Amino acid sequence: MESTAVLRRFNRTYTQRIGALDESFLGLGMPLASARLLFEIGGAQPVTVQDLRARLGLDSGYLSRLLRGLESRRLVELSPDPADRRRRVAALTESGARLLTDLDDRSDALATRLLEPLSERQRARLAEALATADLLVRAATLEFEVVDPASPNARLAMGHYFAELDRRFEGGFDPGPLTEADLATMRPPGGTFVLARSDGEVVACGGVQSLGEGVGEVKRMWVHDGWRGAGLGARMLRRLEDDAAALGHTVVRLDTNATLTDAIALYERSGYASVARYNDNPYAQRWFEKPLSAPAASTRRPRG
């Protein structure tokens, strides 16, 4: 069966069998929107109203009303943010925390009840299938965005990248201090820096810098551990190539360490050819290059 058909069939099954149950149960005693709000507040304790609005995608007036509802039932407490007294931060009260645990238990009980008719083996199969689907659905709905390499999220992502290299290289890895000059290479006109985020969490990154007339270099490409197997590396690489082409590069290079076999496999799969050493990076043992086709100025859409 075609994959769109499978998706649509599943969608029907799902909304009929699970969605409906979920909504009727979860909300028991309170509207669904309030319950969701409570969950969201409980997730990352003191959270600003602004944050909640962004995460739940609610109208400010509506959210305000919902909050006041929870406040009047003494489930949450709002107080001005000392750092910016226009902002208000929400936190659960004790009874709010208790209710949240309660809702959580109820949701758990519902899930258990739903799975109950299945055998242990089938439950495991279902869990595996859902985990796969979860990963891929998240991957399909990722957001790529160009950010300044000096922004907090970009620094965070590069931090993950360096930490991973340090773990994987035999003698460890020392990036040295992250200088402003270094960051500046990944800004226009010759460079760029791209993040992939899911639910606000940074899950992948990558940069491009210019090596001179028409030559770009892919740098700092990293994918979150929990996101391996979703083709994120390939998508990020494609995205960086597209961006490099848009910046006027006609060829991209990259270097890598011989221990990063998965990355090397990705480069080879993606049409990169081994070339001779083109820099003096002491951590690099392999160098690659790939010609870029010129971006079709008007028809080109950013992929991924």
Partner DNA sequence: ATATTTGTCTGACTAGAGTCAGACGAATGG
Partner DNA sequence: CCATTCGTCTGACTCTAGTCAGACAAATAT
Residue from 28, 54, 137, 258 binding its own copies (CB under 8 A): 137
SS3 label, residue 122: helix
Regarding 74 and contact with its own copies (CB under 8 A), the answer is no
Binders of its own copies among 109-128, rule CB under 8 A?
111-112, 114-119, 121-128
> Is beta strand 273-275 parallel, antiparallel or unpaired with respect to 215-223?
unpaired
Kindly tell me which of 155 and 300 has the beta carbon lying closer to its own copies: 300
C-beta of residue 136 within 8 angstroms of C-beta of residue 230:
yes
CB of 23 to its own copies, least distance (A): 9
Q: Tokens 């490099």 appear where?
A: 244
Total residues in contact with its own copies, by rule CB under 8 A: 54
Region of residue 231 (phi > 0: left; psi between -120 and 50: alpha; otherwise: beta): left
The C-alpha atoms of residue 24 and residue 34 are separated, in whole angstroms, by 13
Pick what 171 binds: its own copies, DNA, none; C-beta below 5 to 8 Å, kind-dependent: none
Query: Which of these segments, 59-67, 119-127, 186-194, 195-203, binds DNA (CB under 7 A)?
Result: 59-67
Residues in the chain: 304
Q: Tokens 């210019």 appear where?
A: 210
Regarding 48 and contact with DNA (CB under 7 A), the answer is yes
Binders of its own copies among 179-238, rule CB under 8 A?
230-231, 234-235
Regarding 298 and contact with its own copies (CB under 8 A), the answer is no
Regarding 33 and contact with its own copies (CB under 8 A), the answer is no
- Cα–Cα nearest to 71, from 54, 53, 50, 88: 88
Binders of DNA among 64-123, rule CB under 7 A?
64-65, 67-68, 78, 84-88
The C-alpha atoms of residue 238 and residue 60 are separated, in whole angstroms, by 38
On the question of a cis peptide bond just before residue 189, with omega within 30 degrees of 0, the verdict is yes
Contact residues for its own copies (CB under 8 A)?
A: 1-4, 6-11, 13-15, 17-19, 22, 107-108, 111-112, 114-119, 121-134, 136-142, 230-231, 234-235, 303-304
